[in-house]
Amino acid sequence: MRFIAVTTLVIAACSSHTHAASPDAAPTVDQCQATFDQGLDRACASSADCMLLAHPNCCAEVEIGIAKAGQLAAAMAETTYDSCIGAACGARGCGGITTAEDGTYPMTTGQAFVAICVNLRCTSTVQ
């Protein structure tokens, strides 16, 4: 009976213990991306207000649309992202092609990435 009481106490203590995130835990790709996105200015009134920024993911690049007025903020956000994403991606050995934010990429001669303003927000596509 004594063994059962001690076992029950140990199980109860273990199940009520919460584990804090390890300070050495690598960030996730989603955490890196969320921090990056918060540092961007994407506000626009027209496509003339937007420009492209080559933004790496773990395997390739994404051409994203940002506000021309937010170039400095984007550079700072990219620096923070670069220091985060290396730990998040690790050694994947993957490759990919550069895409626009909508997932498109140039498929024929003459097509190119462009920054556009959609619903007052800079984004990218291929035209």
Half-sphere exposure of 81 (CA within 13 A, CB side): 21
**Both tokens of residue 91?**
């050694």
Residue 25 is predicted with a pLDDT of 74
Residue 80 is predicted with a pLDDT of 93
pTM, 2 dp: 0.75
DSSP category for residue 43: B
DSSP helix/strand/coil, 61? strand
Residue 24 is predicted with a pLDDT of 61
**Both tokens of residue 12?**
């109860």
Mean pLDDT for each 10-residue chunk of the chain (127 residues)? Answer: 40 40 72 95 98 92 97 95 84 83 97 98 98
DSSP category for residue 54: E
Residue 93 is predicted with a pLDDT of 63
> Which has the closest alpha carbon to 112: 63, 61, 40, 49?
63
d(CA 22, CA 1): 38
